[in-house]
Homo-oligomer: A and B are copies of this chain.
């Protein structure tokens, strides 16, 4: 069946963050960013275009979404239809394997999977660059979930040049990313609002743009050299410098909660005790810990003791978009 496709995309975690748009409609970022796609967290999405439908029908985790809730998805389908030159409505079925409590962007895997499935079902034949540009229109971080392993999202100079490319595949480096699931209250400040506020009000924002450029360069060298301490240091510093933008915004805000502080303290203590591990954080209280396999067990057991065994998920570099049909 030509008008049907199903795809799986994995979420990713940025080591050099994306924190600001220079064009909201096109989701063009102020800086290039670099992420690692994660094997444990993914979204499966099928799209079936069907001439008999009068409206898009969207099911999310087996629950039918109303028009309002499905808006971001139907808007995205419009982009695909427009590009494919069709007007046919579709049935979209999405299953999310990204626990909300992990604080990982499910919109990254979600829009990457939707971009892959919808474009294929519509008859478009897009390569990874084109797919990443399309996914970008759904959610900025989705740009980086088309490819596996280490992925760079080039900020570009416009829509056509703002896409992602793979820096190194998932099997290039045996690393672990440990996600700590903490009880998450609904975010008071979405990442979209948060970056917008940081960008328009933090006096440090201009310096942030410059340092991301430097961090990206250094991170690519660290990846090339398999230098874990450099990779971890750059990632942790970059994350904290992003959070410094939230503190320094007007009004000031902070994504940390008590568990975040606890997790950061534990990582610092582990490092002082000679175990190389580093953390990163996004627009939420969750902390993710980077570690090499040789030290994984000691870090995992410390975190399990502190947060409970059920709240620790160990991930590794994951693959890019896969078609399931």
Interface 9-mer from A20-28, A80-88, A253-261: A253-261
Chain A residues 239-269 with CB under 8 Å of chain B are: 240-241, 243-245, 247-248, 250-252, 254, 256-258, 261-262, 264, 268
Q: Name A204's contact: one of B204, B254, B268 (CB within 8 Å).
A: B204
Number of residues from A at the complex interface, CB < 8 A: 27
Contact of A240 with B261 in the complex, beta carbons under 8 Å: no
Contact of A248 with B254 in the complex, beta carbons under 8 Å: no
Contact of B248 with A241 in the complex, beta carbons under 8 Å: yes
CA of A227 to CA of B156 in the docked complex: distance in angstroms?
45
Enumerate chain B residues within 8 angstroms of A51, measured Cβ to Cβ. Answer: none
Enumerate chain B residues within 8 angstroms of A233, measured Cβ to Cβ. Answer: 250
Closest B residue to A258 by CB, please name it.
Answer: B258
Chain A residues 180-197 with CB under 8 Å of chain B are: none
CA of A205 to CA of B247 in the docked complex: distance in angstroms?
14
Taking the closest CB of chain B, its distance from the CB of A158, in whole angstroms, is: 28
Contact of A244 with B237 in the complex, beta carbons under 8 Å: no
Other 12 A-B pairs with CB < 8 A, given A203-B241, A207-B207: A203-B210, A204-B248, A236-B252, A237-B252, A240-B252, A244-B244, A244-B248, A251-B268, A254-B264, A256-B256, A257-B261, A258-B262
